[in-house]
Amino acid sequence: MNNEIKSVILAAGKGTRMKSDTPKVLHKIFEKPLLGYVLDNVKNIVNESFVIVGHHAEEVKDFVEKNYKSAKTVLQSPQLGTGHAVSMVCPYLKDFQGQVIILCGDTPLIREETIQKFIEYHNTQKSDITVMSTIFDNPTNYGRIIREVNGSLKCIVEEKDATPDEKSVKEVNAGIYCLNWNKIKDAFSQLTSNNAQGEYYLTDIIAWGKKKNLNVNAYILNNNDEIYGINSRKNLAEATKLINERKLAELMDNGVTIVAPSSTWISEDTEIGSDTIIYPATYIEGVNKIGKNCKIGPCAHFRGGVEVDDNCKIGNFVEVKKAKIASNTNVGHLSYIGDAELGSRVNIGAGTITANYNPLTKEKSKTVLKDDVKIGSNTVLVAPVTVEEGANVGALSVITKNVSSWALALTRSPQKVIENWVKKALNK
């Protein structure tokens, strides 16, 4: 066997309980699809991933092809169970001599390090088949891990096929497998559908392996949150909470102050430097990088693609999207900074807007503010536009042309004062 590892990710299901036209695996947490979490957590481990698609296959295929060069989709039609799903990759792996890990596309909390430990256990035990298991006080809806008298793995029984004694077992199938492919691939042409659902179960490869005298083991995962599956909107909300709590704990352990964890939401793809303070009701989604000693919020919203250097302040009710903000820059409250590049020591007055979107052409353009630029409050910067180093823009201006270095740009009308106007209007 060689050291190459490939993954198969099951993503063909409809997700009926989601009550949605969107495929289940494309529902999002912090604007990243569930399937994206799984693919991200295997991309540093495997050489290639196969995503099994079915329901709304073209949408899932489009997401995979646009975002993951080392992954390809394989259609399962009709959908005859999890064992049948994995059999779809057999033509692509007929000469493969390495290991295959199988995961579910609707379990976004599984960690990369967990998968690594799982594979290490498989290798240490010299297993041919290893299934990941975990313990639930309430194991309802999960396949049960059935062990031999001596504690070795015997088989996995789906709940709908389980006897009352088997249903009382609290150790359950986590839905993740590691296989020595060359020894296991024949199983997928020999599975039967003699069960309550008339489907080909992936779990039946355990019993198949036992009959072939292969080395079959189960690896117990201690943190059962990691295999939390998404089947409903309530599950989606709970998974979002779990991912957020995990991220906030990680940030606080690394020196970031989260003033109010109960009202702060930060994506796992966001990096934040030490001594930065995140104030309450801040929501940060997508991929972002925030430097050290910054102050963010309260009530700030990062929409992804944001890079903030050290010693910056992003004020309350500020929305930022696809922007680079250099060090020692302040963005005042009630502002929108989108598709922009801000230099160092820039000051953005309250209520400033980068008008980046042309509704006629549907194009987005860039605003560039060089070092030491000062923008007065309630200014609109109509992109594409560049304000050169050191320039100032007066409050209430609408800037549609480039501004040269160290210049003052103004577009508001001169102030007029009409003496005694009020008294005359009131006839006094």
Asked if 75 and 146 sit in the same domain, the reply is: yes
- Quickly tell me which residue has 């949150």 as its tokens: 225
Quick: pLDDT tens for 21-34. Answer: 999 999 999 999 99
**For 388-396, which contacts have Cβ atoms below 8 Å and span 24 or more sequence positions?**
389/343, 395/349
Q: What is the pLDDT of residue 148?
A: 84
Quick: pLDDT tens for 340-356. Answer: 999 999 999 999 999 99
| 423 in any annotated domain | no
Q: What is the pLDDT of residue 283?
A: 98
Q: What is the pLDDT of residue 67?
A: 97
Q: What is the pLDDT of residue 415?
A: 87
pTM for this entry: 0.92
Asked if 168 and 281 sit in the same domain, the reply is: no
Q: What is the pLDDT of residue 1?
A: 55
Per the document, the length of the chain is: 428
Q: What is the pLDDT of residue 195?
A: 76
Asked if 73 and 128 sit in the same domain, the reply is: yes
Residue ranges of the chain with per-residue pLDDT less than 50: none
Number of other residues whose CB lies within 10 A of the CB of residue 124:
9
Q: Give the C-alpha separation, 272 to 265, whole Å.
A: 13
Q: Give the C-alpha separation, 324 to 305, whole Å.
A: 8
| 416 in any annotated domain | no
Active-site entry in 27, 84, 122, 333: 333
Catalytic (active site) residue 122:
no
User: What proportion of the chain, given as a percentage, has pLDDT over 90?
Assistant: 89
| 248 in any annotated domain | no
What does the DSSP 8-state code read for residue 428?
A: -
Asked if 17 and 58 sit in the same domain, the reply is: yes
What does the DSSP 8-state code read for residue 403?
A: B
Q: What is the pLDDT of residue 239?
A: 98
Question: Which structural domain range is residue 60 located in?
Answer: 5-227
Q: What is the pLDDT of residue 428?
A: 67
Written as one string, the DSSP assignment of 6-24 is EEEEEE----GGG-SSS-G
